[in-house]
Structure 1
């Protein structure tokens, strides 16, 4: 029971940290006109990645471990499918930003100035990810309350 509670708490806290990190990265990317401004982008991006990792690991443990209702419950829950679809979209939207940030980090390590022309585009992608992350929270809380399941299943 204690592990189940702690996993749920970590999962929910990770949403908060993810939201704060993605918002900070968005804000920093909008201001990334010079390489010196990238320190804030990189810090926020690292926090975003770590919180996403915690979300995914705790989520997998809750679905496929013996801590929660089990995979059979989740795989038949419509809001779980919505949540996973949103996660996939977030990950797909992350790819261009992740690749750019990797290039920027490499450029800075080499002592070169990174090409920051698309920073605002990556900030826009982060805004979309933020909205999708919030929708994931709505799906998660709906699942916790049995919304979307046929009557009598909960």
Structure 2
């Protein structure tokens, strides 16, 4: 019982930290004028990466680890499918910013000037990722309240 509670709490906290990190990275990317502004973007990106891993790991543990209602329950819940579709979209949207931020980090580490011309595009991606993360929270809270096809 205690582990279920702790997993749920960490998972829920992960959403808050993830949203703050995405918003922070998005804001940093919008305000990015020179490579000197990158440390703030990199910090928010680090937090976003860590919270994404926490959300995925705790989510997998809750669905497949025997700590919650079980995979059969979740796999038959329409809101779970919505939540997973939002996650997949977030991850797909993350590919371009992640790859560019890795290149930017390498360039900065090598004393080179990274091409930050796509920062505005990545900020728009972050905006959509924020919306999708909120969709995930709504889907999760709906499932927790028995809303969906599996509800009695």
TM-score, normalising length from structure 2? 0.98
Aligned twin of 1:78: 78
In structure 1, the residue matched to 2:141 is 141
In the alignment, the residues of structure 2 paired with residue 2 and residue 151 of structure 1 have an alpha-carbon distance, to the nearest angstrom, of 25
Counting only pairs closer than 5 Å after superposition, residues 98-113 of structure 1 correspond to structure 2 as 98-113=98-113
SS, match of residue 122 in structure 1: helix
Structure 2, unpaired ranges of 5+: none
RMSD of aligned residue pairs (Cα, Å): 0.7
Distance 2:25 2:134 in 1: 16
CA offset at residue 136 of structure 1? 0.4
1:128 and 2:128 aligned: yes
Equivalent residue, structure 2, for 1:88? 88
CA distance in 2, matches of 1:138, 1:112: 43
CA distance in 1, matches of 2:97, 2:70: 34
Deviation per residue, 1:71-125 (Å, 9 max, x gap): 0000000000010000000000000000110110011111110001110110000
Q: CA deviation at 1:149?
A: 2.0
Note the residue ranges of structure 1 that are not aligned, 5 or more in a row: none
Cα distance in 2 for residues equivalent to 1:48 and 1:8: 19
Does 1:39 pair with 2:39? yes
Matched with 2:55 is 55
Q: What SS class does the counterpart of residue 33 from structure 2 fall into?
A: coil
Q: Could you list the structure 1 runs, at least 4 aligned residues long, displaced by more than 6 angstroms after superposition.
A: none
Q: What number of residue pairs does the alignment pair up? A: 152
Residue matched to 2:68: 68
